[in-house]
Amino acid sequence: MQYQNIITIEPGKRGGKPCIRGMRITVYDVLSYLASGMTYEELLDDFPYLTQEDILACLSYAADRERQMLTMQA
Give the 3-state secondary structure of residue 19: strand
Cβ-contact 33, 41 below 8 angstroms: no
Question: Confidence band (pLDDT; 50, 70, 90) for 58?
Answer: very high
Does residue 62 carry a pLDDT above 80?
Answer: yes
Query: 3-73 is classed in which CATH architecture?
Result: Orthogonal Bundle (1.10)
Q: How far is 64 from 58, CA to CA, in rounded Å?
A: 10
Give the 3-state secondary structure of residue 17: coil
Predicted confidence at residue 72, as pLDDT, reads: 81
Give the pTM.
Answer: 0.89
The ranges assigned to domains in the chain are 3-73
